[in-house]
Amino acid sequence: MSRSKSSGSGSRSGSGRRGSQDRPAGGRNSGRSGRAGPKKGTKGRARHAGAKSPNEQGPPPSRRRRKGAAGSGSDGRRRQTKKKGLGGDQIEGRQAVRELLLAGNRRIHEVLMIDDMDHAEVLDDIRELANEMKVAFRPINRKRMSVEALTDSHQGVIARAQPVPETDLETLAKKKGAFLLILDGVTDPGNLGAILRTAECAGVTGIVLPRHRSVHISPTVTKAAAGAVEHLPMALVGGIPAALLRLQELGVYTIGLDAGGDSSIFSLPLNDGRAVALILGAEGSGLSRLVAERADTVASIPLVGRLNSLNVAMAGAVACFEIVRIRQARLAEDSASRARGRGLG
């Protein structure tokens, strides 16, 4: 007897075999070299590298880093440190920086661009937008860019801005026609960036991320998201299971995506127009047990080929646009019904 296969967001097969975790796409942290010690001959002022007195502010961060100095790796590149909140204060990649400028949702401190790159329309756009918005614009050489950038995929352009702001979970849930995407432990920045890009294109109205054990908005994420970060309100929550209970209290229908789902993603009961939240699990392990138990329903993607799983970003894309299809079909039916009513009148 043949066995059907299905895929959830966690790259798990229907037989329970674990899929391999995807490797990060693009970004990497620099090496962990030791920090520079105090200079010789400094009388009575030796202190740990990187320490500063309250009155010793120094130049802007981008101008005081030097190769091998504190805060940089052995290759001279700045180390990416863990930040509180969502992050997103350094944006790398041409499309991501241009969308940051176009959106105008965050205060932008500066834009850095390699000064000898070939002509490209997107680079002209970035220069013009920075000038119009009176954002500091600094042409730099390639060596300096290699120090300032946190990834290898910067495309010759980086920007520094205020971190991505957090939005309250209740605010996301109460938005008319809410379509939320909840990420239960996605740790690969390339996957998160791809998911955010898909989510924005699919009309997702809000993203929910756990505060711990999850990747947040890093330069690799902003590059892969290609500007989607600027248009998606995001909430950070202490735990996904508790957040699901709160969303259900607010009338949001929660759908987990997992290989072990009881129903197909293509037969969801979404014709009533209520707010919906799609939950994607971690790479490899899928939804956590408690999250799967708390979700209103757990659905899977039927697979008919020989492979037994989908990447979390691919599975998320399939599920997001299936929800869009169902919702648009309902809207079309409502519109046709109203048209018939007017004709009868």
Q: How far does CA 58 lie from the centroid of its chain?
A: 32
Domain count, the chain: 2
Mean per-residue pLDDT, 235-243: 96
SS3 99: helix
In Å, the largest CA–CA distance within the chain is 94
Distance CA 78, CA 34 (A): 13
Q: How far does CA 36 lie from the centroid of its chain?
A: 34
Assigned domain for 40 exists: no
Shared domain for 246 and 174, answered yes or no, is: yes
The residue among 184, 126, 211, 156 whose CA lies nearest residue 312 is: 184
Residue 296 predicted with pLDDT over 50: yes
Mean per-residue pLDDT, 211-229: 93
Give the Cα-Cα-Cα angle 97, 190, 168 (nearest 5 degrees): 70
Residue 57 predicted with pLDDT over 70: no
Question: What CATH number should be reported for the domain holding residue 232?
Answer: 3.40.1280.10
Question: What CATH number should be reported for the domain holding residue 99?
Answer: 3.30.1330.30
Q: Among positive and negative, which fits the CA dihedral 171, 289, 258, 210?
A: positive
Bridge partners, residue 97, by sequence: none
Assigned domain for 225 exists: yes
* 98 phi, psi to nearest 5 deg: -60, -40
Domain extent at residue 142: 80-161
Shared domain for 148 and 177, answered yes or no, is: no
Distance CA 288, CA 80 (A): 28
Asked which of 161, 187, 213 is the last residue of a domain, the reply is 161
Residue 27 predicted with pLDDT over 50: no
Q: Cα torsion at 126, 132, 136, 139 (round to 10°)?
A: 40
Tokens of 6: 């299905």
Bridge partners, residue 180, by sequence: 206, 277
Shared domain for 286 and 200, answered yes or no, is: yes
Mean per-residue pLDDT, 66-80: 47
Assigned domain for 20 exists: no
Asked which of 161, 193, 209 is the last residue of a domain, the reply is 161
SS3 301: strand
Distance CA 296, CA 37 (A): 56
| pLDDT, greater one: 41 or 201 | 201
Choice among 34-43, 164-173, 214-223 with the minimum mean pLDDT: 34-43
pLDDT at 70 (0 to 100)? 37
Distance CA 314, CA 265 (A): 14
Shared domain for 148 and 178, answered yes or no, is: no
* 295 phi, psi to nearest 5 deg: -65, 145
pLDDT at 337 (0 to 100)? 65
Distance CA 327, CA 315 (A): 19
pLDDT at 196 (0 to 100)? 97
Mean per-residue pLDDT, 223-244: 96
Distance CA 138, CA 115 (A): 9
Shared domain for 156 and 189, answered yes or no, is: no
pLDDT at 79 (0 to 100)? 56
Asked which of 117, 133, 161 is the last residue of a domain, the reply is 161
- Model confidence, pTM: 0.75
pLDDT at 334 (0 to 100)? 60
| pLDDT, greater one: 94 or 53 | 94
